[in-house]
């Protein structure tokens, strides 16, 4: 199998410059000779606008050639689903409702990603394993949708394991009775086949996104409200096991030297300069250890590859400068270490205090909640035969201590 390409996902609040930053990064990489695909998971279809090209949904998933080493793709929902999503979604909603055992399920029912978003994930996976690209830059939808989308593979796979016949968690013979007991509508054969394929596809997507070659770049503007959202996003992404390897602070206004008596416009600019400087400081202090990229507010919208390349040339890349963009830059978001007493599972969970974290153990699964977000960590066999002895949040890590459960270890 071909090595995984580097995958960079750009997300952030609406209008901050996700599409622009993603496209500028892709153009610059391509002009460095890196075989690059830039694709969008945002139904807003603005990638084509930024590149000044009609990426007209061809329905075939074919990427459009933009220039040497650069292709772009706007995903259309049709290719992967042919309308099957409606059927499956209706079934899932019934199933999840009937499963009512889990309090977060209700939330998921109302927040299933749309067909187009899921199609984008599947497309990403296909492109990643095509072996065609060294770098795939993904222009994502605004934060909330992106988080829902990134959590989806793991969550869906978890539910499917419980309703699909013949998969782990529910043995074939036990399934109809167990399903009936839970009031789950039994899926028809057609749906079983679709769900089974999805289960495998979603695990593959999850594997790709959580691997060390993939990371998220958060785009923000130097304004308190936007920065606050970026901070929350960072925690949520870490909870799901996704690494953030840069924060882009976009739309930084120029700060020319101003004199007394320069007039109202100059005063206005001066006051924004001061606020933006505070904002940039806040970003640097909030994202300890994460490279911060500073991006100027240009005189006009950077539209088209030439303008995007020019914007990229004006970025202050900070500690990213000179780094090979195709090489992963972050440490594993989750680590398991041996200790005297057993094992420690450490999860990067920045900006979180212990009281925001909920921890629930269910057989070989840990349910972690931070605020509104939930993550299911499926424990490797060695940890599933342990009990949780302790959990603590310290210096940006949640560390869960496991000790072997004597009853579950051969003597
Ligand atoms: N650094 C910048 N300088 C000038 N205009 C910018 C800059 N970044 C983004 N824009 C403009 O701001 C608008 C929103 O940017 P966009 O990248 O589409 O945001 P998002 O994808 O986050 O919604 C677009 O019109 C874009 O051209
Ligand atoms: Mg956009």
pLDDT, tens only, 259-315: 877 888 898 999 999 999 999 998 988 787 789 999 999 999 999 999 999 999 999
Nearest to 69 by CA among 35, 20, 112, 101: 35
Of all protein residues, the one whose alpha carbon is nearest to atom 11 of ligand 1 is 301
- State the pairing for strand pair 64-67/36-40: unpaired
Can you tell me which atom of ligand 1 is nearest the CA of 22? 17
pLDDT, tens only, 71-108: 999 887 655 555 566 666 666 666 655 554 343 443 44
The token pair that represents 151 in the structure block: 């959590």
* Residues 250, 33: Cα–Cα separation, whole Å: 25
Terminal-residue alpha carbon distance, the chain:
40
In this prediction, residue 172 carries a pLDDT of 43
The token pair that represents 201 in the structure block: 């596809």
Which residues of the chain are under the pLDDT cut of 70? 1-2, 57-61, 77-115, 155-188, 191, 330-334, 378, 380, 409-411
Can you tell me which atom of ligand 1 is nearest the CA of 16? 22
Of all protein residues, the one whose alpha carbon is nearest to atom 5 of ligand 1 is 301
Strand partners of residue 218: 11, 247
Counted residue by residue, the chain has a size of: 411
Phi-psi region of 239 (alpha: psi -120 to 50; beta: other; left: phi over 0): alpha
3-class secondary structure, 152: helix
Can you tell me which atom of ligand 1 is nearest the CA of 50? 27
Q: 101 exposed, middle or buried (CB, 10 Å; 0-12, 13-18, 19+)?
A: exposed
Can you tell me which atom of ligand 1 is nearest the CA of 13? 22
In this prediction, residue 259 carries a pLDDT of 80
In this prediction, residue 361 carries a pLDDT of 87
Residue with tokens 């949640």: 398
- The whole-model pTM stands at 0.80
Whether ligand 1 lies within 6 angstroms of the CB of 254 is answered as: no
User: CA distances (Å), 207 to each of 203, 211, 364, in order?
Assistant: 6, 6, 19
Which domains are delineated in the chain? 1-330 (3.40.50.300), 334-408 (2.60.40.790)
Whether ligand 1 lies within 6 angstroms of the CB of 49 is answered as: no
Q: 324 exposed, middle or buried (CB, 10 Å; 0-12, 13-18, 19+)?
A: exposed
Of all protein residues, the one whose alpha carbon is nearest to atom 1 of ligand 1 is 297
User: CA distances (Å), 122 to each of 134, 160, 175, in order?
Assistant: 18, 17, 28
* Residues 86, 68: Cα–Cα separation, whole Å: 39
Please, are residues 351 and 235 in contact by the beta-carbon 8 Å criterion?
yes
CA of 20 to the centre of ligand 1 (A): 5
In this prediction, residue 365 carries a pLDDT of 79
In 241-396, which ranges are E strands? 244-252, 292-296, 334-338, 343-348, 357-362, 365-370, 373-378, 386-394
Whether ligand 1 lies within 6 angstroms of the CB of 19 is answered as: yes
Helix/strand/coil (H, E, C) string of 86-143? HHHHHHHHHHHHHCCCCCCHHHHHHCCCCHHHHHHHHHHHHHHHCCCCCEEEEECCCH
User: 235: Cβ–Cβ under 8 A, 6 or more apart, which residues?
Assistant: 349, 350, 351, 352, 370, 371, 373
In this prediction, residue 299 carries a pLDDT of 96
* Residues 176, 185: Cα–Cα separation, whole Å: 9
Can you tell me which atom of ligand 1 is nearest the CA of 296? 1
Residue with tokens 């890349």: 317
CA of 220 to the centre of ligand 2 (A): 13
The greatest distance separating any two alpha carbons of the chain, rounded to the nearest whole angstrom, comes to: 85
Whether ligand 1 lies within 6 angstroms of the CB of 217 is answered as: no
CA of 226 to the centre of ligand 1 (A): 15
Question: What is the DSSP secondary structure assignment for residue 184, as one 8-state letter?
Answer: P
In this prediction, residue 89 carries a pLDDT of 65
Q: Could you count the other beta carbons within 10 Å of the beta carbon of residue 244?
A: 25
**Cα dihedral 85→90→93→94 (10° resolution):** -140
Whether ligand 1 lies within 6 angstroms of the CB of 304 is answered as: no
Whether ligand 1 lies within 6 angstroms of the CB of 146 is answered as: no
CA of 234 to the centre of ligand 2 (A): 19
In this prediction, residue 298 carries a pLDDT of 97
């Amino acid at each position: 199998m071909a090595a995984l390409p580097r995958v960079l996902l750009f997300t952030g609040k609406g209008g901050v410059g996700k599409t622009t930053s993603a496209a500028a990064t892709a153009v610059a990489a391509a002009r460095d000779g890196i075989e690059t695909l830039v694709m969008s998971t945002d139904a807003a279809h603005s990638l084509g606008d930024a590149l000044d090209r009609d990426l007209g949904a061809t329905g075939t998933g074919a990427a459009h050639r933009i220039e040497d080493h650069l292709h772009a793709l706007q995903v259309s929902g049709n290719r992967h689903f042919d309308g099957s999503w409606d059927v499956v979604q209706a079934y899932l909603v019934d199933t999840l409702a009937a499963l009512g055992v889990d309090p977060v399920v209700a939330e998921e029912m109302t927040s299933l990603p749309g067909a187009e978003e899921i199609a984008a994930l599947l497309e990403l996976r296909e492109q990643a394993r095509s072996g065609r690209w060294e770098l795939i830059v993904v222009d994502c939808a605004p934060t909330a949708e992106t988080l829902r989308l990134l959590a989806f593979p793991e969550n869906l796979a978890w539910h499917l394991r419980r309703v699909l016949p013949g998969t782990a968690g529910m043995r074939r013979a036990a399934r109809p009775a167990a399903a009936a007991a839970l009031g789950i509508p039994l899926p028809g054969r057609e749906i079983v086949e679709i769900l089974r394929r999805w289960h495998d596809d979603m695990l593959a997507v999850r594997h790709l996104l959580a691997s060390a070659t993939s990371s998220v770049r958060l785009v923000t503007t130097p304004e308190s409200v936007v920065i606050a959202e970026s901070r929350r996003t960072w925690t949520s992404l870490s909870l799901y096991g996704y690494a953030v390897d840069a924060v882009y602070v976009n739309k930084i206004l120029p700060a020319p030297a101003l004199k007394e008596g320069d007039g109202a416009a100059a005063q206005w600019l001066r006051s924004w300069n001061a606020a933006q400087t505070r904002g940039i400081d806040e970003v640097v202090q909030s994202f300890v250890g994460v490279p911060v990229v500073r991006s100027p507010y240009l005189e006009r919208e950077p539209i088209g590859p030439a303008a995007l390349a020019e914007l990229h040339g004006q970025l202050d890349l900070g500690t990213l400068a000179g780094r090979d963009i195709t090489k992963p830059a972050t440490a594993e978001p989750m680590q398991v270490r041996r200790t005297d007493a057993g094992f420690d599972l450490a999860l990067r969970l920045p900006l979180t205090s212990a009281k925001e974290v909920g921890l629930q153990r269910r057989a070989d699964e840990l349910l972690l909640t931070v605020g509104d977000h939930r993550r299911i960590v499926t424990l490797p066999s060695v940890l599933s035969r342990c009990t949780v002895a302790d959990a603590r949040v310290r210096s940006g890590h949640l560390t869960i201590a496991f000790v072997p459960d004597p009853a579950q270890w051969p003597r």
